Structure formats: structure tokens, C-alpha cells
Structure 1
Amino acid sequence: MKSFISIGLFVLVGLITAILIGFPPNMSKPLPFDAEQTGLKDRIVIKFSHVVAENTPKGLAAERFAKLVRERLSDRVEVQVYPNGILYSDKHELDALSRGDIQMVAPSFSNLTNAFPSWGVLDLPFAFPSQQAVDEALQGEIGEQLLAELTDANMAGISFWHNGFKQMTSAQRPLIHPSDFTGQTFRILPSKVVEEQFHALGAQTAMMPFTEVYRSVVNGDVEGQENTISNIYSKRIYQVQRYMTISNHGYLGYTVIVNQSFWEGLPADIRSELEQILAETAQWNRGLAQQLNHEQLDEIKKSGIVNIHQLSAEERDEWIKALAQVYIQMEQEIGAPLLAQIKELGQKYDAYRY
């Protein structure tokens, strides 16, 4: 018994000695300097929320923007990217931005039309005969007018990003003539113009966030949808839709928007650098979008899963004639002057006249 007590006392004394020896002689000596932690509490954080996959034109542009900011402003600004609707769906992200819960979003043009009806001008069917026409619209007077409207909601539009032209898909039958749309229900973004477009084709519509499209198609809640090749590919929509028509009937682009109060509160030099980085990212995104849509269309073709039809000139004429009424129906909502500008732009690039 005594031996056990002696051993216990010996171990206890040893532990106390080790602890005492382990303490530094000067307890007031400062901790080692860690340069990486310096200034973290003062770093400006930009939460960038979006709803598409990381391997899409918008997803990759958001990551590139964050990377360039990290390289040039690492000690002052951090961009946190939240893809796939992790933080907010496209239904709620604008409200979150306006409140200041997030600082940056990049919604599609269609997702702005509920709050700003004139943005529907960019959704008009066959408004843009080429990428060059899109560029002129966004970089010219039309783009300036649309961006100016955002300031009324504590938002500032900084840049335009691209995805590409939209195509039609269906699980039911090929979409070659306008009559082929009759009786089908198509998922759409919350755009009155897009809604009227499908109604003009004899179809029904169901508005829903992009994150719900795949499940809705699988469940049979909708028969079809419209989207760019990169979105059809990245969300595997082509695997559950038997038919796709290369129609190029509309354009899907994005507006990079920031909370205005947050943006105006940034130091001038930081804001200037961020604007430069966004401009560089937009230029990079334009080329990437075209490349991805081209490569991923090839991948869809190779899969052999979906039947792909390219509209002929005669078939496109049919669609255009069927959709001409949309321009008339939407004139009041969009505004006659803006509608006239988009028509004039289309005529400049030999678009079909309405």
C-alpha cells in the first residue's frame, strides 16, 4: 500500500515539475507574429450569391473574380462565392441584396423583370440576331438606361456577364413548328415577356427557380423548358429531355449587381480596383461562354441521349410570325421608346422585322 502511495506521489511531483519547467520564464512575452492573421478583422467581405453550377459561364466568372480580388486585394478584400442557390434562390436573392444580407449577385435579365418591367426588352424573342447585336445593346444606350433603374432599389449595376442564346427542350415531342408547343407546359423564369412568348406558341407555363428545374422535369410537372446549352448540360437537363431544338430564339445574360449603400461606402481606391477587375472578368467571361456552349453541345451530341433539331430558315420564319404579337402585347410594359430602340438595333443587324 505504501509503495502505491509513494509511486503516486512520485508521478504527481513529476507532473508538477514538468508543467513548471514548460512555462516560459517571462509570461508577459508577446506571442509569435503571424502575418497571415494581421488585419483579418478589418478585411472587407463581399458575399457573392448565385444559383447556377460552378462549371457554367457565370459560376466560373464568379470564381475568377474572387481569384483576381484575392491576388490584388488579399489583405483588404475577400470575395466569398456561394453557388447553386446555397444562400438564396433566384426568387429571393434580390431582396437579400437590397437588405444588405449579401453584397453581390448576378441575376439573369429575366429575374429583374418583376421589379423592373422594362428589362423585359432583353427577353423579346428573336430580338438579337447575333452576339454582336447583344454586345451593342448592353454596352450602349439600352444598357445604360436599364442599369440606371436599379438605383431606386438600393442596387447598382456594375457589369454584364454572358451565357448565350437559349434553346428549347421537351420530353414529349420535337419542337419544330409553333403548333408542336400546344398542350405542353414549360418552365420559365419570372418574365412576363417569356410567359407571353410561350402563350403565343400555344403552351402553358410554370414559373420556378432554376434550382428546381431538373426535379420538376423528372417528376413530370413540366414537359419542357428553355435554356442555354451550358445550363442544359451542367444541370443534366438533356438526360431527362428527349428533344432539343437549336432555336437561338432568346438570349440569357446576367447583370452583376451590388448593394448600393455597401458599394458607395467602400474606399474609393478599392472600389476603383474592383470595377477594373469586374471589367476584366466580363471580357474573359464573354469568350468563355461561347467556348463552353460550343464544347458542351458537342458533349450532348456525343451522349446520344437527346434528339437535336436545328431550325431551318423557313421554320424560323414560322416561329417569328407566331411570336410577333409578343412585341405588341408588351409595348406598354416595356415602353414604346425602348421597344423602338431594340427593333432598330435588330434591323441594323438584319434581324427579322415585326
Structure 2
Amino acid sequence: MRSRLGIMIFIVIGLFTALVIGFQNDLLFTQLGYDAEQEGLKDRIVIRFSHVVAENTPKGLAAEHFSKLVSQKTHGRVEVQVFPNGILYSDTTELKALQDGDIQMIAPAVSNLSEVDPAWSALDLPYLFHDHAEVNQALSGKIGSLLFDTLSTHDMKGLSFWTSGFKQMTDNRNPLLSVADFADQRFRIIPSTVLAAQMRSLGATPVPLGFNEVYRELAAGRITGEENTISNIYSKRLYQVQRYMTLSNHGYLGYAVIMSKPFWNSLPADVQASIQEAMQETTAWSNQHTAELDKKDLALIQESQSMAIHVQTPAERAAWEAHLRPLYQQFAPDIGDALMQEIERLHQQRPRPK
């Protein structure tokens, strides 16, 4: 009898305790209020965006700007997490990571996409673009759309092109004034058949390397030179391990902003619209600020007095361009008739020198 009474008392105490705790939780919830943000976490969409350059470069700044715009336009529903400096994936592994679904968004150098489709090697042709206006005209038009069309069969969705600027030549041996100055040098390139052919044509040995390996290899003397934009030369401190720079503007370095196609297709239509709107605004913002950043970074390199800087003369440019022009015919079969025709049309629209 006592045992049965004890059990009943234990049950009553347990029920009373549960009621008290439940009441306290309700009271606490009432006092703190309803947290809509926490409730919405289960519906939040996270986009992991990996890239390999520093935050203070055109691509790094554009990625952060895009992330903020997407958050604003979706009222926090979509979070773009940016991972710079190759902390997640290098420029040699990010494409596979995207295709495997390990990340949702990347912005590789256009040169790296020639491994996806050889048509992308068109953007590595020397002296392809005359200035930033021509770059924007081409990539926002037919040339850009033809290139993005090649990505669809590889489960990639092209969103936009961001520019890093024009490439300059740097080395440790001697000033690069003529083609002969490249003889017997070892130049780092982004892995690209066109860039490899360009360096061989100039007389140098091409050495394909990932972007974040360049400083170490230059410092160790295993390579003697490289080509890059001013912002990359400054942000990665390449000017500290190179003695000479020729401002040649001989090649374009840009980025294709790409999302996983299956991931893109899984997004609601309103989210897709917000992302596209944010991307369009970011691209316009980036185009406006890239040239300004180049000027600022060039001034900082000049202040360091660590490099002798040569501005290529019109005669030197003409000689380099004529020497490298046969690459257009050499790679036309890889690039394809449609793209080559658009490139020819672009060049024909240039004002004739007086």
C-alpha cells in the first residue's frame, strides 16, 4: 500500500514539475518576443562562393559587394558566403568542386575555362581588346553569350564577366622591351594552350602554375617572370620579388562568374531574379572601380621603388603585336568560326589610326 502511494505521489510531483517548466518557457518566450530571424533560418539559402585572389582586388571587392546586395535584395533569405585567397579550393581544383556540388559559385580566370571548352581560349589571344570599353562591349554582347553557351552541357550557369584588367609583363633578368628580351626565361602562365604558345613564340619557357604558388616560385628563382594585372601584382606582393615591369596591356585577364546549374535550377524564381539583379549591379560597379584600383595600386608599386617600370611605346607594341598575330590563325580551329567572326567584327569596328 505504501509502495503504491509513493508511486502516485512521484507521478503527481512529476506532472506538477512539467507544468511549471512549461509555464516558465512560455513566459520566457513572451518576455523575449518572437524571433522571426531565428524562425527563418530553416528557410535560408546559403551560397558558398570560392575564389583565389585577395579581398582588396577587383574580384575580391566585387564578391563582397555582390554578397551584400544579395542579402539586401532577398531580405536576408539568401546568404552568400565568400571564401577568398583559395582557402577552400585553388584555381586548379575549384571547377571540379563546383561540378561535384561541393561549392555553389566560383569566378575562375577565363583562361582556366579552356579546359572545359577550347572556345574559351579566344580570350587569351594577345592584344584581343584595345581598352576596357571594348572588353565590356564584347563580353556583354555576342562573344560573351557564345562563351556562356558552352557551359550549359557541363552543368554550369554563367552569370556575368568581371574584369581584373589588362596584363603586364614582369621579370628578374632584364627590361622587357623587345621580343628578344624573353629569350631563355621561364615565365609562369595560367594553364592555357594559347598562353603557352604565346610564351614559346616570345622565346620563353611557359611554366603553368596555380596563382597562389607564383610568389614562392619567383622568390626561389625557379621561374624568372610572369604576366599579371597590376592589382594582382600588388596584392600578392609580386613586385617585391620582381625587378622589372613593362606596362604592355598585351592581354586580358577577366573572370567568368559561374554557378552550379543544378543548384541554380533548384532556386525559386524570385531568388533567381534577385541574384541576377544583384549580379548586374555588381558588374557595373566593378567595371567602374577596376581602372581606379589599377591606378592606385600602380602608384603604390612606384612608391615602393622595388621595380623599374617601363611604359611600352607604340612602336614596341606594334612589334610585339605583329610577332604574336599568327596565334589567331593557329588557334582558330579550336575557337570556332562563330567566335572568330565576332572577334574580326569587333576589330573592324575600331577607329582607324590617323
The two structures share one fold, judged by TM-score above 0.5: yes
Q: Kindly state the Cα deviation for residue 191 of structure 1 after the two structures are TM-superposed.
A: 1.2
Q: How does 1:57-136 map to 2 (within 5 A)?
A: 57-136=58-137
Q: Give 2:279's aligned residue.
A: 278
Q: Which secondary structure does the structure 1 equivalent of 2:91 belong to?
A: coil
Give the one of 19, 22, 27 matched to 2:21: 27
Q: Which secondary structure does the structure 1 equivalent of 2:21 belong to?
A: coil
Q: Give 2:3's aligned residue.
A: none
Q: CA RMSD in A?
A: 1.6
> Normalised by the size of structure 1, how large is the TM-score?
0.90
Query: Is 1:347 equivalent to 2:341 in the alignment?
Result: no
Unaligned runs of 5+ in 2: 1-16
Q: Give 1:320's aligned residue.
A: 321
Q: Give 1:50's aligned residue.
A: 51
Q: After alignment, is 28-37 or 50-59 more displaced?
A: 28-37
Partner Cα distance (1:192, 1:90) in 2: 16
Deviations 1:269-317 (A, max 9, x none): 0110110001000000001111100111111111111000011111111
Partner Cα distance (2:205, 2:118) in 1: 21
Equivalent pairs counted in the alignment come to 330
Partner Cα distance (2:89, 2:352) in 1: 37
Partner Cα distance (2:104, 2:48) in 1: 5
Q: How much identity, in percent, do the aligned residues show?
A: 50
Deviations 1:120-141 (A, max 9, x none): 1111101111111111110111
Partner Cα distance (1:270, 1:36) in 2: 18
Partner Cα distance (1:50, 1:244) in 2: 26
Conserved 8 A contact 1:229-1:293: yes
Q: Kindly state the Cα deviation for residue 24 of structure 1 after the two structures are TM-superposed.
A: 10
Partner Cα distance (1:317, 1:350) in 2: 16
Q: Which secondary structure does the structure 2 equivalent of 1:309 belong to?
A: strand
Q: Give 1:192's aligned residue.
A: 193
Deviations 1:191-224 (A, max 9, x none): 1111111111011011111011111111111100
Q: Give 2:170's aligned residue.
A: 169
Partner Cα distance (1:26, 1:220) in 2: 74
Q: Kindly state the Cα deviation for residue 103 of structure 1 after the two structures are TM-superposed.
A: 0.5
Q: Give 1:235's aligned residue.
A: 236
Distance 1:173 1:24, change over 3 A: farther
Partner Cα distance (1:310, 1:119) in 2: 29
AA in 1 matched with 2:326:
Q
Partner Cα distance (1:343, 1:319) in 2: 19
Conserved 8 A contact 1:130-1:349: no
Conserved 8 A contact 1:127-1:351: no
> Normalised by the size of structure 2, how large is the TM-score?
0.90
Deviations 1:94-114 (A, max 9, x none): 111111110000111101011
Partner Cα distance (2:352, 2:206) in 1: 27
Partner Cα distance (1:308, 1:100) in 2: 44
Partner Cα distance (1:176, 1:347) in 2: 28
AA in 1 matched with 2:60:
G
Deviations 1:173-199 (A, max 9, x none): 111000100100111011111111111
Q: Kindly state the Cα deviation for residue 347 of structure 1 after the two structures are TM-superposed.
A: 2.8
Q: Give 1:215's aligned residue.
A: 216
Q: Give 2:146's aligned residue.
A: 145
Conserved 8 A contact 1:186-1:224: yes
Deviations 1:144-199 (A, max 9, x none): 11001100110010111111011000011111000100100111011111111111
Q: Kindly state the Cα deviation for residue 233 of structure 1 after the two structures are TM-superposed.
A: 0.4
Unaligned runs of 5+ in 1: 1-22
AA in 2 matched with 1:88:
Y
Q: Kindly state the Cα deviation for residue 42 of structure 1 after the two structures are TM-superposed.
A: 2.1
AA in 2 matched with 1:80:
Q
Q: After alignment, is 129-138 or 56-65 more displaced?
A: 129-138
